[in-house]
Structure 1
Amino acid sequence: MALRTNSKVRAVITWVLRCVIGLIFLLVGVEKLTGTMGTIPFFDAIGWGQWLRYVSGAVDTAGALLVFFPRFTSLGAFMITCSVGLGTYLCYAKAVFNPAFPLVMTLLAATLIWLGWTSRTA
């Protein structure tokens, strides 16, 4: 019985993380693709040009959409983790802003990868 309760709790935690990460990165990805909320000056400050904004926005949006489908949760979370991990490194290296929030998002996405991977059935 404890295993069943544990799996229900795990399922709830996984769905909550899917919804939170999916919605946040869907919003972030669309903002990057449309150039709203100061994303253009932000990517200018990084110094790599606007192509990085489009690539990052596409990866964030695709990863966010994949997170909502249980079969592709780990893949979507992996895409988000790579995108945010690179963004955190660039922000830290260029001293654009404090990387605390992206680090937390990276850890949450990595947790979602782990939850999705370990709940796979053979």
Structure 2
Amino acid sequence: MSDDVAVNKATSQGRVANRVLWVVQAIVGVDFIIGGLVKLFGLPAMVDLFDRIGGGQGLRYFIGVVELVGGIGVLIPALAGIAASGLAALLVGAVYTNLFIVNDPPWVPLAWLIVVCVLAWRRWPRTKELIIGLRR
């Protein structure tokens, strides 16, 4: 295989991977935007959940805002990696809460944690550029 063919094949694979990543980001973004709005609008299931958690309804509003901002952030190219990192931190708390506070299965937040960690990792070069740009 010639070098040109290998480069074209790698470039093509990179484009496909980037497109797949954007589809995943869109799914994550929409899910977290909806999740944040559900918490902010006070759906009864969310009010009950935060009563079970014992953190008060202020925590529900805080988590709702974080989810909303994180969901929007993963849809913005320059912010996608850092937003995914923030959502990962939030999801670590969700896994802990499910396991040790409300005794619910941790599988859903754990699955989302894996997805947003992959997003943060794959978008790290852009995040690094953002951080370096802010330092200047």
**TM-score, length-scaled by structure 2:** 0.83
Match of 1:86 among 69, 93, 96: 93
- Quick one: distance in 1 between partners of 2:23 and 2:59? 29
RMSD after superposition: 1.7
Paired residue for 2:61? 54
The question of 1:72 aligning with 2:73 is answered: no
Structure 1 portions without partners, runs of 5+ = none
Tell me the alpha carbon deviations over residues 9-53 of structure 1, each in whole angstroms, 9 at most, x when there is no partner. Answer: 221121011101000000000001111151000010011111111
Partner of 1:21: helix, strand, or coil? helix
Deviation at 1:96, TM superposition (A): 3.6
Match of 1:23 among 18, 21, 30: 30
Aligned residues: 122
Greater relative contact order structure (CA < 8 Å, 6+ sep): 1
Moved >6 Å (runs of 4+):
none
The question of 1:39 aligning with 2:84 is answered: no
Question: In the superposition, relative to structure 1, how do residues 120 and 28 fare at CA in structure 2: closer, same or farther (>3 Å)?
Answer: closer
Larger Rg: 2
Deviation at 1:83, TM superposition (A): 1.2
Instruction: Report % sequence identity.
Output: 25
- Quick one: distance in 2 between partners of 1:5 and 1:119? 20
